[in-house]
Amino acid sequence: MKTIDELLAEGVKGKRVFVRADLNVPLAEGTITDDGRIRAVQPTIAKLAEAGARVVVASHLGRPKGAPEPAFSLAPAAARLGELLGADVAFATDTVGSSAKETVAALTDGQVAVIENLRFNAGETSKDDAERGAFADRLAELADIYVGDGFGAVHRKHASVFDLPARLPHAVGQLIATEVGVLKKLTDEVKRPYVVVLGGAKVSDKLAVIDELLGKADRILIGGGMAYTFLYAKGHEVGISLLQKDQVDKVKEYMARAESTGVELVLPVDILASSDFPDLKTKAPAEYITVDADKIPADKEGLDIGPKTRELYASKIADAATVFWNGPLGVFEHPDYAGGTRAIAQALVDSDAFTVVGGGDSAAAVRTLGFDENAFGHISTGGGASLEYLEGKTLPGLAALEG
């Protein structure tokens, strides 16, 4: 891959540089609640602008269905990017239409523009190669050079991620280069003990990465909604907790493999359980009980790991040399069920290990709970991309940049 530094050495002054960023930030009534992804790509954009490039930034946001939806507009992200750059950022109200063409044509050296949400065009996510390619052709008309720096999207075979680099001279941005370097430390250059913490709602989302990590990790700590399928597979009552019965046989197989290969697979020993899911809007006080993980009442749902599990998991992290964490340990959005996730974050902070927070809800939780991002070795901007890389999959966006 050509690096951005190599690209800058060749000279970009006066050239239109298309930066595929990941500005897919969470919004609440049009207000950004976590600008981490914008801050992560800002250094690449700033470098290009300072070198005199005419920078065209593009991204998706949310899951619009191939047509404009105001709730998914990138306008708030463009405004926040301008604040971070300390400069006006132009905004095009379409992707490849008259507004985009006029906005890009009006750029002068060192200026930055953001075009509207790429997923407002059906060609971006189309599974038809011709339709996707046609959209990539139109995007290519807006630029002279392509820089890929949207790590959170590199696992998608989308027009702006996979097809567009083939149509323009291309380079890898600073963020993606950093993310890939970190992931190599979790795959090819691992320092041990290597501890993996996996949470989140569905065990089906994590099966492939568990399959791969059973041959690489020393310990795997399980939490979140996915833990109840593991507990059920051990024969425990899980009440009305989140459960994927269709995955129980696979989970049993993985538990057996872990035992036979010497990988320590650790499950919760106690749980915070309630009959009512918490109100995440008002965050009204929740009513819950703390029970042993094998004694969840039939009418209650597990919503967080308990205090004994938090202490246990912290002890399993304490002597690690490498820690990868993906997925919250409970319903962290509610203060009464954020304790498990907070305990894991604190254990990473207290550890001397190289610690990686694997994007998505884990990264959001770290920020929501008030942790200093610099206290972690790395906070990824792409949960799904990180997991697929660790699964050993070929990521279309990375393959395109290597071509």
Residues with a known catalytic role: 37, 202, 360, 384
Sole residue written with tokens 């060609």: 123
CA 235, CA 381: separation in Å to the nearest integer?
A: 37
Closest CA to 232 of 219, 222, 223, 244: 244
Q: Which helix (H) or strand (E) holds 385?
A: helix 383-390
Polymer length of the chain: 403
First to last CA, the chain: 8
269 and 222 in contact (C-beta within 8 Å)? no
CA 143, CA 135: separation in Å to the nearest integer?
A: 14
Closest CA to 143 of 59, 74, 58, 45: 58
CA dihedral 203, 155, 90, 165 (to 10 degrees): 180
294 and 269 in contact (C-beta within 8 Å)? no
CA 62, CA 347: separation in Å to the nearest integer?
A: 32
CA dihedral 212, 397, 68, 128 (to 10 degrees): -90
CA 153, CA 149: separation in Å to the nearest integer?
A: 9
CA 375, CA 34: separation in Å to the nearest integer?
A: 18
221 in helix, strand or coil? strand
Q: Which helix (H) or strand (E) holds 194?
A: strand 194-198
Paired tokens of 37 = 């992804």
CA 64, CA 71: separation in Å to the nearest integer?
A: 9
Q: What angle do CA 326, 355, 228 make, to 5 degrees?
A: 30
